[in-house]
């Protein structure tokens, strides 16, 4: 997400750099102990994921805040890897001493998911279709076992156990990160004290299933995909480019286009009405951003990751009401008012169900022209709400 259409002239929507976390972060890696068994019963012999952390875990192991990441993100939630990095982690403005995610008070940690699409960036650490199958010495490709959101949580729990985390002061995630956050609260209710679900979904409904399935289906139309066995040859870049254009537009609201581009031409000398290949500014920018994003993405990982999103139901229950019953954590819901991907109406329904079962819940809508993306680039507006929620 951070590298797709968000990059198209949206710097003004980011939290001011003067407020940013002033520090470097390091990617670390975690090897899951022994073979990993997925929720569906398949076995993955070796699982390795990356993680990043800030702050220190207290002696009781109870001041940790887990920050699961969104679909196209990684564990890079704050800081920079090098002083001259162009962009910090996606929630950088919330992080640091005295801020909402106070590094003097909390141990902040985020983990790269299985099947992370950023496996080609040289930094993200993940196990998925692009990983080498130890039984064959070749990439798994689409033979990689199907994984679900619950599997991501299982890997994270093993890492937290190794680090000595006994309690989670909070779990806080945006979009796919909210799916993981809900799953944490439902699976480990005695461990999770607070749940912050940003641009969230507690279940992917029929409409959402079809929306996210489009992203993977578009990639499969590229003849270079070859049923996923493209490793060592031409990759399905054209399919990925189109998938990212669709994905990015799915996450944005109409207000974004008017605010960022209007009907400006890409080239002031080339009227789109005069030739079919003369573009509007929004078209040229979308093409450039999607092309850059596609070149950094593994196609099979994207397909497997969108499948994990399709399959999600909180607590593994087909009934949303039944799945939510396990959640006891004090909950803060932060949907975006103009989200056209994960609609705020659905989150209001979750709020009502949580209230009815006696779970403490707060609800606030994020503002801004960015639709779903308000929960990534526009989170500065919720800093005070988050800080208050974490300290009460």
Judged on CB neighbours under 10 Å (0-12, 13-18, 19+), 170 is buried
CA distance linking residue 182 with residue 200, whole number of Å: 9
> Is 17 labeled as catalytic in the residue annotation?
no
Active-site residue identified among 4, 72, 175, 181 = 175
Which of helix, strand or coil describes residue 324?
helix
Cβ partners under 8 Å of residue 347, min gap 6: 197, 200, 201, 202, 333, 335, 363
Picking from 67, 12, 44, the residue whose alpha carbon sits closest to that of residue 260 is 12
CA distance linking residue 198 with residue 340, whole number of Å: 14
> Is 175 labeled as catalytic in the residue annotation?
yes
Q: What is the DSSP string of 192-217?
A: B-EEEEES--SB--HHHHHHHHHHHH
CA distance linking residue 137 with residue 19, whole number of Å: 47
> Is 367 labeled as catalytic in the residue annotation?
no
Beta strands in the chain (DSSP E): 28-31, 36-37, 43-44, 48-54, 64-66, 107-111, 168-174, 194-198, 330-334, 361-363
Q: What is the DSSP string of 277-300?
A: T--BHHHHHHHHHHHHHHHT--HH
What residues act catalytically? Answer: 175, 339, 372
């Amino acid at each position: 997400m951070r590298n797709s259409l968000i990059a198209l002239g949206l710097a003004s929507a980011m939290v001011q750099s003067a407020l940013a976390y002033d520090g470097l972060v390091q990617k670390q890696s975690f090897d899951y102990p022994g073979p990993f068994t997925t929720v569906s019963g398949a076995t993955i012999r070796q699982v390795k994921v990356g993680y990043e952390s800030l702050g220190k875990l207290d002696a009781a192991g109870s001041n940790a805040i887990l920050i699961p990441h969104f679909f196209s993100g990684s564990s890079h939630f704050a800081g920079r890897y090098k002083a001259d990095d162009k962009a910090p982690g996606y929630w950088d403005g919330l992080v640091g001493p005295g801020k909402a995610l106070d590094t003097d008070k909390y141990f902040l940690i985020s983990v790269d998911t299985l099947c992370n699409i950023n496996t080609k960036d040289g930094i993200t650490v993940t196990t998925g279709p692009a990983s080498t199958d130890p039984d064959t010495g070749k990439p798994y490709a689409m033979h990689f076992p199907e994984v679900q959101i619950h599997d991501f949580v299982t890997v994270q729990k093993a890492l937290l156990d190794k680090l000595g985390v006994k309690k989670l002061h909070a779990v806080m995630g945006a979009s796919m990160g909210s799916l993981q956050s809900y799953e944490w609260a439902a699976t480990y209710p005695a461990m999770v004290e607070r749940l912050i679900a940003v641009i969230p979904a507690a279940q992917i409904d029929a409409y959402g299933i079809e929306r996210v399935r489009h992203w993977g289906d578009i990639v499969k139309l590229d003849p270079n995909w070859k049923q996923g066995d493209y490793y060592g040859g031409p990759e399905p870049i054209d399919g990925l480019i189109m998938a990212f254009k669709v994905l990015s537009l799915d996450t944005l609201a109409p207000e974004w286009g008017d605010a960022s581009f209007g009907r400006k031409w890409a080239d002031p000398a080339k009227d789109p009405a005069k030739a079919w290949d003369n573009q509007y500014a929004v078209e040229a920018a979308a093409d450039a951003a999607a092309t850059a994003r596609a070149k950094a993405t593994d196609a099979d990982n994207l397909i497997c990751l969108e499948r994990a999103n399709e399959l999600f139901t909180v607590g593994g229950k087909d009934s949303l009401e039944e799945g939510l019953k396990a959640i006891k954590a004090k909950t803060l819901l932060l949907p975006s008012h103009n989200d056209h991907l994960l609609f705020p109406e659905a989150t209001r329904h979750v709020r009502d169900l949580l209230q009815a079962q006696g779970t403490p819940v707060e609800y606030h809508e994020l503002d801004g022209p960015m639709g779903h993306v308000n929960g990534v680039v526009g989170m500065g507006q919720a800093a005070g709400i988050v800080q208050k929620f974490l300290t009460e």
